[in-house]
Structure 1
Amino acid sequence: MNAGVRRERLMRLLEEADRAVSATALAHTLSVSRQIIVGDIALLRAAGERITATPRGYVLDRSATGELRTVACRHTTPEDMARELNIMVDNGCTVVNVIVEHQVYGQLVGQLDLSSRYDVSEFIRAVEAYGAKPLSDLTGGIHLHTLRCPDEGAYRRVTQALKEAGILFT
């Protein structure tokens, strides 16, 4: 199959997916290497496709509904990271990303796309399995999260719960 046809099939697979799809799974389905998929995704993005890489794989930005809000947080332990993320999803919000301000590189953004406790547990499992350090380690634990909240009430519940947990940075 030529590259153009493969990229069309790749887009169809992402459009039909109800969750993130890993590069490895896409490579297996299309009978190519993972690196070919990574390159195809880069070219599709350059052509204007709204494909986001998450810790669990690629997703199409379907312009989900809800209010985008930002919260500033501070924590230093992996347990607090899990607690923070669970507070956000338990109150109905999706954790879109994490943002830190690095003194050399400026703003660094990590895409998360976490909407449930399952998503959070899979993210934490991946962090542990790869020995990854949270971006907030670069900034003494201070970081931002972009949240997609269904309404103002959900955002207020998140900020109140984060404040009670000692995680909200004020």
Structure 2
Amino acid sequence: MSKEDEVMTGSERRDQIRATLSTSTLAVSATTLAQQLGVSRQTVVGDISLLRANGLKIIATLHGYELEDEVQPTAILVCRHFPNEAADEMTRIVQAGGVIKDVTVEHPLYGRLRGELELRTVGDINLFMGRLQKQQGHLLSELTDGIHTHTVGYRTPEQLVAIQATLREGGYLYEN
């Protein structure tokens, strides 16, 4: 068998990515997928985009890619805070049992801007905040005077009430 015969087609590679994500209990990084498939990380990122464009619900977490849990209920919460309060706001959500799926702002020029987060634990928040600081980045909410929304996943209606209550207590829930 020649070396050319061993190379996977793009379609086969995407099938393998789909299979890996559907059987993995943990997020799988693009680097890990690239090593398994013998391609570049950028090729995997492109394949993920094609899979998403074809309807596969793939989410990016701080730890890699995974398939979206479509049975978890979600709510969109409007929040407002200063940048130095972001970690506290997010920590309140996850400690009340929520998953911070994303952050969205309404920008006057670009319209809706959304960033996937998938923050589930305080460790995820610490990792996110560490990367933000290391990269000298800015929060999307800084573009809109602190006003933003989070799509938050939860398990029970009582859990959602607790998430809203802790955000209200911290002064982060934007309700007026």
Same-fold status (TM-score > 0.5): yes
Q: Which of 135, 143, 147 is equivalent to 2:140?
A: 135
Residues 1:12 and 2:19 aligned together: yes
> Normalization by structure 2: what TM-score?
0.88
- After TM superposition, give the deviation of residue 137 of structure 1 in Å: 0.7
Moved over 6 A (4+): none
Higher mean C-alpha displacement, 27-36 vs 82-91: 27-36
Q: Which of 139, 146, 153 is equivalent to 2:151?
A: 146
Structure 1, unmatched stretches of 5+, are: none
Instruction: Give me the whole-angstrom Cα distance separating, in 2, the residues matched to 1:43 and 1:161.
Output: 39
Residues 1:125 and 2:130 aligned together: yes
Instruction: Output the amino acid matched with 2:95.
Output: D
Aligned residues with identical type, % of pairs? 38
Instruction: Output the amino acid matched with 2:79.
Output: C
Number of residue pairs matched by the alignment: 168
- After TM superposition, give the deviation of residue 20 of structure 1 in Å: 2.4
Q: Which of 72, 77, 98 is equivalent to 2:83?
A: 77
Structure 2, unmatched stretches of 5+, are: 1-7
Say whether the 8 Å CA contact 1:55–1:111 is kept in structure 2: no
Instruction: Output the amino acid matched with 2:32.
Output: A
- After TM superposition, give the deviation of residue 153 of structure 1 in Å: 1.4
Instruction: Output the amino acid matched with 1:38.
Output: V
Q: Which of 20, 24, 29 is equivalent to 2:31?
A: 24
> Normalization by structure 1: what TM-score?
0.90
Task: Provide the alpha-carbon RMSD of the alignment.
Answer: 1.5
Instruction: Give me the whole-angstrom Cα distance separating, in 2, the residues matched to 1:77 and 1:45.
Output: 31
